[in-house]
Each structure stands twice: as structure tokens, then as C-alpha cells.
Amino acid sequence: MSQFNRRQFLQSSLAAGAFVSLSSASSSKAMAANEEVNIAVIGCGGRGGAHLSQFSSLSGVNIAGLVDPDESRTGSAQRKFPKAKRYTDIRKMLEDPAIDAVTIASCNHWHCLAAIWAMEAGKDVYVEKPLSHSQWEGRQVVNAARKYDKVVQIGTQQRSSPIQDEAKKLLHEEQALGKILSVQVCRYGIRGSIGKRSTPLEVPSSVDYDLWLGPAADQVLYRDKFHYDWHWDWNTGSGEMGNWGVHVLDDVRNVVFRDSVKLPTRILAGGGRVVWNDAGDTPNVHFAYFDTGEIPTFIGLSNLPAEPGGKKGLNYRGVTSGYLVQCEGGYYSGRRGGGDAYDNQGKKMRSLRGSSGTSHAQNFIDAVRAQDNSNLKAEVAVGHDSTGWCNLANIGFQVGGQYKPDAFEEIVTPNEGAKRIWSDLQAQMESHLAAHGYKLSDSEIRVSPMLNHDPETERFTGPHAEGANALLKREYRPGFEVPEIA
């Protein structure tokens, strides 16, 4: 498909590798319903492979570009898509006016810069969760989408499952369970240690390490594996909170709050990286309280088995990776692709079943063809806010200090439902840590003070704000700075 009639390419700056807009007037022109959409996939690892499978299966979608700083990955992908061009440097791909849109399945630290560069080059964007590695850079992506009038979808694919609307109807329109009192979010999934080498990890010869690092700091790696385990390093990843927590918190923002609560006004978080003694620095046990002004929301997260050596993780009233909405007349237990409503005696009232969001990619392509954001299931601003809950919980952990006996006194539990959930979570975290030989008061465990947050400015306020605000934006390597978008 020719792009010259619809978009104008944005030239690259040799100094910074950024793109300068020439014109965005052509971006509003809708495509024909059967017009082929040329896609480039940025990041050809596991999640990128899923993108290739999903988008190539859609009618009228052509995989035209494969981008990864690891040439072995683009080589493997090209064997399945021989007509696609291979690129090590994203900027080279963005010079191709035939590319209509990109999907981004790179490491987290690349998401925002890749998305902004793509929009500056006239491309629409599908970017994996979490949207951002820091809250400030996520805001720049939202600003760029508005400035360049681009279609931007976030990869919280469960938003495209009809079960989300069914759950909202049950809880809000029918009020089948009565008033919502509080929410417990769970991400209890066992993972293993990433190891801790005595000598630095050698970067694979197939990887252009400068391009792989991009915006991240050049730090020596001591983990066992190069790929995937970047998730558990603050320099490149967002821990389990940003990896899986974002999915479930996004469910809650959608189903419980119907997106009316963008960001919490107060946050308290705690946890630690315990048992493993490995090269990771993100917590493998993490909990947080979010003050939404109406419905208290809590999250419990653990990558450890419930008991040492066990094969099962924790659960809260049967929920492992999902959420429990406590209401006056019962509770709703939600998860990806399903949910169940119970009365206060524990009798099941209704079951909801559906997909995990298999139409999410099609939803994006439809919006690209129409050049219309209005029907996107996970538009960029929605993804920014859901990612924000994770970013704030991570900041809470990072600024935390040693546990104090009065640490939880400021947590608001305005009703019996909220009191029960918070009491259950506190007891569960304490017993879980004890099972592995730790106490909340141990030096390995951090607990933040109550942090006040202004959702409008997206900054912390009041006591303890300085240290927390310092983590809203990272330092970028020269040539890979995320630009501030007015």
C-alpha cells in the first residue's frame, strides 16, 4: 500500500536519532476496508512471536518488517515470514514509508521511545503492557498520540473480551451483589531464581548491545540468562507488578471503576526479594494499598510457593491471578476469561465465561483502517493510567524503609468488607513470609510510608514526596532520550 498519499515521513535527526515532524495533515485519512495494512514487529522474542502469529492471521494484514537488536531472533522470524525485511536498528525500519503501523514487544525500557519515534515517523502503534518504564515517559506517549493524531492500542488484550462488559453489567447495572465495598487483586504465580553469577554475563554475539540497551544504563549483568530475565532488573524491567500485575489492575480499573479512577490518591507498598539471593532487584513478594477515594483496593503478589519446596502458590479465597470484589451481598471472583458471583454464604450465583481477548489485534487493525481511536478497547490514555498503578506500587517499594509497628495505621478501611480484605492480606503476607523464614521487621523487607499522590499532576505531594518524585523519570543514555512532548 502506498503511504505517500496518506502519511508523510518524518526525517531522522542525525544528532539524536529522533524524528522531526513535517506534517500530520494526512494522518486523518481513513483507509479502504480491504486495504492491506503493512505491519512491522519490534521485538521478535516470545511476545513478539505471539504478535507475529496474531497479526499475520488477520485478513489484509502483511508482516512487512522484523526489528530486533538480536539478529538471531529476526533470522528465526524471517524463516516464517520470508518477505519481511529484517532490521537491527528500529530507526532504519521507520525510514520505510510503506510501513503503516508497528507493534512493540521489546523490553519494557524501550516501549515509550519506540512508540514516540514510530508516531513521529507517521506510524500507528500497538504497544505491549506495561506502557511505560516510568510514569513521566508514559505521559509523553499519550501527548505524542494526541499531537500526531495516531492510533495507539495497549496490549492489555483482556479488554477485548466480552466478559468484561458482562461483569460490569452484573456489578453495576444489575447490582446483583449490592454495593461494592473493596477489592483484593492477586498475582500469585510461582517463578524461579534468575541466578547470580560470580563473573559478568557475556552478551550473545548476535546482539547489538548498544541498541538493546537503548535508553537504559549500561550496567554489568550477573544473571544467568540474557533474554527475558531483564524483567526482574529495575534498569530494564518493572518486576512482576508491571509484568502481570498490570493485567489484573487494568481489569479492576475497567470492571470495578469503569475507568472513572485514573490513579490513586494515596499509596502504601511493601515487600522484598527474598529466599533466592539472585541478581534480580525487583520484589518477588509485593503488596500495596491504593486509596481511590471510594473503594479501597489492595494487591498481593508473590512468585514464591505457598510453602518452601511446594508446587502451589498462594491464593486468596480461591483467587490466584485475578481479583475479588467484596460487596454487601456477596463477592465476585474475576480472572482472565472467566468470573463467578457468590452470595455471602459462599453459594455460587452465576458464572461468566469468555475469551481472554482474542479480538484485540483485530480491534487495533480496524481502528488503523478507520483512522479512529474512539472504538479502541485499550486506548493509550487508558493504558497509561493502568500502568500508572503499577509504577506507583513499584515506587512505593523502592522508597520503602524498614517496617515500623505503626506503618499501616493510615490505611483507610471504611467498611467491614474493606477491613476484612486488608486484615486477610496483612495476615497472609505475614504468614507467607514466616513460612519462608522472614518477618515484616527483617531488613530484607521494605515498607513505604503513606505516599500522597495528585492524579492531575501525576506527582507525589506532601511528606516523602521528594524521594518518590525522583523515581517518576529516569536518566536516559545519550542518543536514546525520551523527548518531552508538549
DSSP string, 283-350: -SEEEEEEE-SSS-EEEEEE-S-SSTT-S----BTTBSEEEEEEETTEEEEEETTEEEEEETTS-EEE
124 three-state secondary structure: strand
Burial of 481 (0-12, 13-18, 19+ CB in 10 A): middle
233 and 291 inside one domain: yes
Give the type of residue at 247.
H
Instruction: Tell me if 283 is assigned to some domain.
Output: yes
Q: Which of 295, 268, 256, 293 lies closest to 418 in space, CA to CA?
A: 295
Cα–Cα distance between 87 and 90 in angstroms, integer? Answer: 7
137: CATH: 3.40.50.720
Instruction: Tell me if 122 is assigned to some domain.
Output: yes
Q: Element (H or E) spanning 247, and its range?
A: helix 246-255
Q: Element (H or E) spanning 37, and its range?
A: strand 37-42
Instruction: Tell me if 258 is assigned to some domain.
Output: yes
97 and 191 inside one domain: no
Q: Which domain holds residue 244?
A: 162-197+228-354+380-469
SS3 of 217-228: CCCCCCCCCCCC
Instruction: Tell me if 40 is assigned to some domain.
Output: yes
CB 317 within 8 A of CB 428: no
Pairing of β 321-327 and β 330-335 = antiparallel
Which residues partner with 318 through β-bridges? none
Domain count, the chain: 2
Cα–Cα distance between 299 and 241 in angstroms, integer? Answer: 9
Instruction: Tell me if 96 is assigned to some domain.
Output: yes
Cα–Cα distance between 237 and 245 in angstroms, integer? Answer: 13
87 and 173 inside one domain: no
132 and 262 inside one domain: no
Q: At what angle do helices 360-370 and 46-56 cross, to 10 degrees?
A: 60
434: CATH: 3.30.360.10
34 and 98 inside one domain: yes
Would you state the cell numbers that stand for residue 145, as one nine-digit string?
A: 498520540
Total-model pTM: 0.94
Instruction: Tell me if 203 is assigned to some domain.
Output: no
- In this structure, the dihedral spanned by the alpha carbons of residues 180, 413, 323 and 231, taken in order and rounded to 10 degrees, is 140
Q: Which of 148, 122, 144, 152 lies closest to 7 in space, CA to CA?
A: 122
Burial of 315 (0-12, 13-18, 19+ CB in 10 A): middle
User: Other C-beta atoms within 10 Å of 308: how many?
Assistant: 10
26 and 88 inside one domain: yes
Instruction: Tell me if 475 is assigned to some domain.
Output: no
DSSP string, 155-220: S-GGGGSTHHHHHHIIIIIS-TT-SEEEEEEEEE---------SSPPPPPTTB-HHHHHTTS----
pLDDT, one tens digit for every residue, the chain (486 residues): 433 233 333 333 333 444 444 333 334 467 776 689 999 999 999 999 999 999 999 999 999 999 999 999 999 999 999 999 999 999 999 999 999 999 999 999 999 999 999 999 999 999 999 999 999 999 999 999 999 999 999 999 999 999 999 999 999 999 999 999 999 999 999 999 999 999 999 999 999 999 999 999 999 999 999 999 999 999 999 999 999 999 999 999 999 999 999 999 999 999 999 999 999 999 999 999 999 998 999 999 999 999 999 999 999 999 999 999 999 999 999 999 999 999 999 999 999 998 889 999 999 999 999 999 999 999 999 999 999 999 999 999 999 999 999 999 999 999 999 999 999 999 999 999 999 999 999 999 999 999 999 999 999 999 999 999 999 999 999 999 999 999
pLDDT confidence of residue 29: 64
Instruction: Tell me if 215 is assigned to some domain.
Output: no
Q: Which of 140, 144, 124 lies closest to 132 in space, CA to CA?
A: 140
148 and 235 inside one domain: no
pLDDT confidence of residue 465: 98
134 and 279 inside one domain: no
113 and 180 inside one domain: no
143 and 252 inside one domain: no
147 and 170 inside one domain: no
144 and 249 inside one domain: no
